[in-house]
Amino acid sequence: MSMATATRTDVAVRPMSAEERKVILASSLGTVFEWYDFYLYGSLAVMIGAQFFSAFDASTRNIFALLAFAAGFLVRPFGALVFGRLGDLVGRKYTFLITILIMGVSTFAVGLLPSYASIGWIAPVVLIALRMLQGLALGGEYGGAAVYVAEHAPVGRRGFYTSWIQTTATLGLLLSLVVILTIRIYLGEQSFAQWGWRIPFLLSVFLLAISVWIRLQMQESPAFRKMKEEGAQSKAPLTEAFGQWKNLKVVIFALLGLVAGQAVVWYTGQFYALFFLQAILKVDLFTANVLIAWSLILGTGGFIVFGSLSDRIGRKPVILAGCLIAALTYFPLFNQMTKIANPGLAAALETVKVQVSADPATCGSVFDPVGIRSFTAPCDTSRVALARAAIKYELVSAPAGAPTKVTVNGKEVAVDKDFAKTIVAAAQEAGYPKAGDANIVKLNGFFEALASSKALALIAILTLLVIYVTMVYGPIAAALVEFFPTRIRYTAMSLPYHIGNGWFGGFLPPTAFAMVASTGDIYYGLWYPIVIALGTFVIGLLFVPETKDRDIYDYKGA
């Protein structure tokens, strides 16, 4: 009995075949390596900034390093268009063979690229070009892998089969963290910062070789073969997917009613949580990475659980429930995280009163999601400095023409060129914890986390955030594959996925921090994922159809 004609009862009881296991392994393993390559840069952005943007001061070089990271997110939708079209024209197998070659070679090249000190401005230009190639490749990789697995999956088990693909982003992030931590411990901080950071990039060549070898053994998907044999391929998949309203409206509903909410829940649970621990709660890099790594280890199985559940009750209820539960619980969870990780900060937020008093006309917007703005007005520079120090403040209107004044529990702090230092000293004197405070959670080893009550409590919270991720992300590949007919599937599903995850999700950490800086509230950035997740819940509930029982071998579509 072929996979195309198997009944739901048949496939519910039979085990996964050897060919199906091979398909999932080939697709998943390659995608793990792609995500590993992509995340290496984000994890090592500060060190890369020091190597390739050394002509600038520390703050500016970090900004440029993060902008280079953002370039990968910006081009992901364009990669989805380029490789999605190619996948619908020539086939799934060869297209995502190309994407993994581009990703692997680009990542290996970063490890070999000479620094700014060696070749000057050429170094950062080539670095950004390599990042854009990575983003383009990732834009084509995910859609290809998801479509390839779904088109091999038996009827009634697409959620379960494609959920293995969904583990790859988390496993890629975990793999990058483990490799970085291992090399860092072995070499020591100084050697790692000078040259050891290149090793994780260079190691990717071995991952690339394994992925290419496995993928070369694979056959084209049965759905694409059937369509090709019948001569029913789309001659213009881009025009058909986005130029016809019947398909374009499905793309829009898929983006706003499923993917946007999934994206912000995903990035909040894995990236913003890491950013919040480090930048806001002042937990050191090693400890924060260990805590996140444990949460990923414990929570990753949820992708399979919720992917399989979506085969029984539907994609829509699982994804939308994840969006709603996450939106309703983010504030208490992050608040509890603060109390455990940095109790001194939690107490200071309640007891230390910091006010910025200024003429409203002299206060501009400090919204700076990509970190490239330069602030000169005292009202603005003081608020940015307070946000970067994770000091909660209240903005108070002063009479017209009044100078900007900052007070800590009623005691004025001069707003001058040394404000960033003096405000921290004043806040610490009033009760804010000092750097390296003994009460801030700290780990010196990976397994030490299991012997620390604080660390275990934080891991429990972080694991819950990862479970939210698995709820929304586990079924999303199956849902997107089922939304579109075979002839435009690769093209049509890739674009909403990468706009949602590349833009809505990828810019979540800097945007959330910009919101914190604008308001003085360390939790205010959470409104970004909450509002989008709730919007997706409403739109999805009203406009998104259930798709689990659709025939994905229908190449024509509705």
Comparing CA positions, the residue from 496, 558, 552, 557 lying closest to residue 224 is 552
The pLDDT value recorded for residue 372 is: 60
Residues 335 and 390 in one domain: no
Residues 306 and 351 in one domain: no
Question: Using 50, 70 and 90 to split pLDDT, how confident is the model at 59?
Answer: low
pLDDT of residue 390 exceeding 60: yes
- Can you list the alpha helix ranges (DSSP code H) found in 342-369? 343-351
Question: Exposure pattern of 303-331 as b/e (b: 16+ CB <10 Å)?
Answer: bbbbbbbbbeebbbebbbbbbbbbbeebe
Q: Which amino acid is at 60?
A: T
Comparing CA positions, the residue from 524, 508, 518 lying closest to residue 368 is 518
Domain of residue 305: give its range: 19-341+444-543
The number of folded domains in the chain is 2
Residues 288 and 395 in one domain: no
Question: Using 50, 70 and 90 to split pLDDT, how confident is the model at 235?
Answer: low
Average pLDDT over residues 262-270: 91
User: Bigger pLDDT: 293 or 49?
Assistant: 293
- Can you list the alpha helix ranges (DSSP code H) found in 188-314? 189-191, 198-216, 222-229, 237-242, 245-254, 260-267, 273-275, 285-299, 302-313
User: Any bridge partners for residue 406, and if so which?
Assistant: 356, 413
- For the chain, give the number of residues: 558
The pLDDT value recorded for residue 449 is: 92
The pLDDT value recorded for residue 121 is: 83
Q: What is the pLDDT of residues 492-539, one digit of tens each?
A: 777 888 788 777 887 787 788 778 878 889 999 999 999 999 999 999
| 437 is a domain residue | no
pLDDT of residue 189 exceeding 70: yes
Q: How many Cα atoms are found within 13 Å in the side-chain-facing hemisphere of 507?
A: 22
Average pLDDT over residues 151-175: 84
| 143 is a domain residue | yes
| 89 is a domain residue | yes
Residues 335 and 362 in one domain: no
Cα–Cα distance list, 11 to 77, 154, 304, 387 (Å): 35, 6, 17, 55
The pLDDT value recorded for residue 103 is: 83
Question: Using 50, 70 and 90 to split pLDDT, how confident is the model at 234?
Answer: low
| 538 is a domain residue | yes
| 556 is a domain residue | no
Residues 307 and 268 in one domain: yes
Average pLDDT over residues 261-273: 90
Q: Which segment of 2-6, 391-395, 454-458 scores lowest on mean pLDDT?
A: 2-6
The pLDDT value recorded for residue 63 is: 61
Extract the tokens encoding 437.
Answer: 């405070």
Residues 323 and 366 in one domain: no
Comparing CA positions, the residue from 52, 210, 191 lying closest to residue 131 is 52
User: Bigger pLDDT: 109 or 5?
Assistant: 109
Average pLDDT over residues 371-395: 85
The pLDDT value recorded for residue 55 is: 72
The pLDDT value recorded for residue 7 is: 43
Average pLDDT, the chain: 84
User: Bigger pLDDT: 421 or 88?
Assistant: 421
Percent with pLDDT over 90 in the chain: 37
Residues 453 and 389 in one domain: no
Extract the tokens encoding 335.
Answer: 């608040």
Extract the tokens encoding 495.
Answer: 């674009």
Q: Which segment of 267-281, 328-342, 350-364 scores lowest on mean pLDDT?
A: 267-281
CA Rg value for the chain: 24
CATH of the domain at 76: 1.20.1250.20
Domain closes at, from 430, 460, 492: 430
Comparing CA positions, the residue from 435, 505, 449, 509 lying closest to residue 288 is 449
Residues 419 and 482 in one domain: no
Q: Which segment of 17-26, 206-215, 235-244, 441-450 scores lowest on mean pLDDT?
A: 235-244
Q: What is the pLDDT of residues 75-94, one digit of tens each?
A: 878 887 888 777 777 767 77
pLDDT of residue 18 exceeding 80: no
Cα–Cα distance list, 211 to 101, 336, 469, 477 (Å): 9, 41, 26, 21
Give the number of other CB atoms < 10 A from CB of residue 246. 9
This prediction has a pTM of 0.84
Q: What is the pLDDT of residues 211-226, one digit of tens each?
A: 888 778 777 666 666 6
Domain closes at, from 430, 462, 484: 430
Domain closes at, from 430, 457, 484: 430
Average pLDDT over residues 197-203: 91
The pLDDT value recorded for residue 60 is: 61
Question: Using 50, 70 and 90 to split pLDDT, how confident is the model at 15?
Answer: low
Percent with pLDDT over 70 in the chain: 87
Average pLDDT over residues 452-481: 94
The phi, psi pair for 358, rounded to 5°, reads -160, 155
The pLDDT value recorded for residue 8 is: 43
Q: What is the pLDDT of residues 323-351, one digit of tens each?
A: 999 999 999 999 999 999 999 999 999 99
Instruction: Output the DSSP codes for 492-551.
Output: HHHHHHHHIIIIIITTHHHHHHHHHHHHS-TTGGGHHHHHHHHHHHHHHHHHPPP-TT--
Residues 457 and 532 in one domain: yes
The pLDDT value recorded for residue 229 is: 65
Residues 336 and 353 in one domain: no
Dihedral, CA of residue 480, residue 484, residue 488 and residue 492, to nearest 10: -40
| 97 is a domain residue | yes
The phi, psi pair for 396, rounded to 5°, reads -115, 135
| 98 is a domain residue | yes
Residues 204 and 271 in one domain: yes
Residues 422 and 469 in one domain: no
The pLDDT value recorded for residue 88 is: 73
Cβ burial of 374 (10 Å; 0-12, 13-18, 19+) is exposed
Q: Which amino acid is at 199?
A: I
pLDDT of residue 16 exceeding 70: no
pLDDT of residue 405 exceeding 90: yes
Answer left, alpha or beta for residue 409, where phi above 0 means left and psi between -120 and 50 means alpha.
left
CATH of the domain at 360: 3.40.30
Instruction: Output the DSSP codes for 56-75.
Output: S-HHHHHHHHHHHHHHHHHT
* Cα dihedral across residues 336, 337, 341, 342: positive or negative: negative
Report how far residue 400's alpha carbon sits from residue 406's, in angstroms, rounded to the nearest whole number.
Answer: 16
Comparing CA positions, the residue from 540, 538, 528, 539 lying closest to residue 268 is 528
| 496 is a domain residue | yes
Average pLDDT over residues 460-483: 93
